[in-house]
Structure 1
């Protein structure tokens, strides 16, 4: 399948893979910044964003699509930045194409993902729907944040209920949620039921890796992210207190500064074989 792709900048390619629910637009927090020095390519995965599908599919087909994506854009070498599900796909691509993947940045992701999300009530869904809709119409409205946002499921996705975080929720999260197909959700749920675990294969990935995690992440715990970093031969782990699964939207400048610094410490990523 040909994936709808947002392309910015020029230079060494950085492929930015979104999570679930998500889209290429959700990666703008990274691409707007990184495209000032690099070529960023952010595809909508199958069943997400504008990569429409009317057929059921399995998670493995994301990898088939991305292999076609590599060929379409003549990607010989790249760095892959993956958020949540995108990080899992990034690991799979690094295992399959070690000669192409020169570096990995894993955001709120893990090779053996584990969560500790509490049970969800009907009131959680009601508050989330209302908070999301109102925030979409009136982004970052303080009344909505205090009255509905902090009672909704947003409280498990973020810890810092700031205007900038709710701006990203309105601009990127709500449209991505609406554009995520049921087929994409079914494919992910099927994979989770099977129990994804690639820890024993991580020793095969020798490129520089940066693993970033939020302290209060309920969807993919910081402990499982650190476990991934500990099993990668050439990895650095950063941990952000008082943040959750959407921490790049909570503390965007801090995260981008840390990525920039890490990139300067690994010039070998950009040296051709």
Structure 2
């Protein structure tokens, strides 16, 4: 699978993995900020964005694709950053080959993900459609946010209904949703039905980790993120109040400042073997 990928900067490599539905472009909140000092690599996963699928696939195919991408770019060591499904893939990559990754930044994710999303009715779905269409035409319009957005599925993805968050939705969220293939939906649903729990294996990951969660996240609860952080041997965990699953778009300045502080206190994640280009 030849993944579509956006590469920025020329520093130590940072592989940025998006969620579902999503695309590499959805990681711009991270890549635009970090690329002056890092080489950010943001692929469209198989079946997402411009990486069109060749047929049905499984979650393991994502891992194979990503390892092949790193090999193609001749990257022997990198830092991982994953949001939601991307965080799960980051954990899986680190479990496959712990020596290849200098550290992990895990956003709204978990090794045993659990949700608390309620059942939604037709009015919620109607409001979601109206909010999405209007927001694509007038991004961040407060009237649309207050009338439709707060009473739609966006109300479970976002806690702070700011124009900034809705502009991210219009610019990156909506296109990513449209470009997510049926095979990507099918692959994720198949994996979810089987159940997913890697808590017992996390002790294999020795690299420094930063785990960030939204207190009101209904898709992957803060409690499940904290459970993962507690199982990782070298992990700093932080939970943001009054935020939900899309908190990187709600509070980007605060979140990026916390990532900066973690990177400053763990310089080894970007300095390991710069000359040898290997984490071992």
Same fold, TM-score > 0.5, yes or no: yes
Alignment partner, residue 216 of structure 2: 216
Q: 2: distance between equivalents of 1:256 and 1:244?
A: 16
**Normalising to structure 1: TM-score of the pair?**
0.99
Q: Give the unaligned 5+ runs of structure 2.
A: 274-279
Deviations 1:124-143 (A, max 9, x none): 21111110111011101111
Alignment partner, residue 41 of structure 2: 41
Alignment partner, residue 259 of structure 1: 259
Using the TM superposition, give the Cα deviation of residue 89 of structure 1 relative to its aligned residue in structure 2, in angstroms: 0.3
After the TM superposition, which segments of 4 or more aligned residues of structure 1 sit over 4 Å from their partners? Answer: none
**Normalising to structure 2: TM-score of the pair?**
0.96
Deviations 1:130-163 (A, max 9, x none): 1011101110111111111111100000000101
Q: 2: distance between equivalents of 1:151 and 1:267?
A: 43
State how 1:118-267 maps to structure 2 within 5 Å. Answer: 118-267=118-267
Alignment partner, residue 277 of structure 2: none
SS of 1:99 mapped into structure 2: helix
Q: 2: distance between equivalents of 1:57 and 1:200?
A: 26
SS of 1:7 mapped into structure 2: strand
Q: 2: distance between equivalents of 1:122 and 1:74?
A: 50
Question: Is 1:62–2:62 an aligned residue pair?
Answer: yes
Using the TM superposition, give the Cα deviation of residue 113 of structure 1 relative to its aligned residue in structure 2, in angstroms: 0.3
**Which segment is superposed worse, 128-137 or 12-21?**
128-137
RMSD over equivalenced CA pairs, Å: 0.7
When the two structures are aligned, how many residues end up with a matched partner?
Answer: 273
Using the TM superposition, give the Cα deviation of residue 195 of structure 1 relative to its aligned residue in structure 2, in angstroms: 0.6
Alignment partner, residue 271 of structure 1: 272
Q: Give the unaligned 5+ runs of structure 1.
A: none
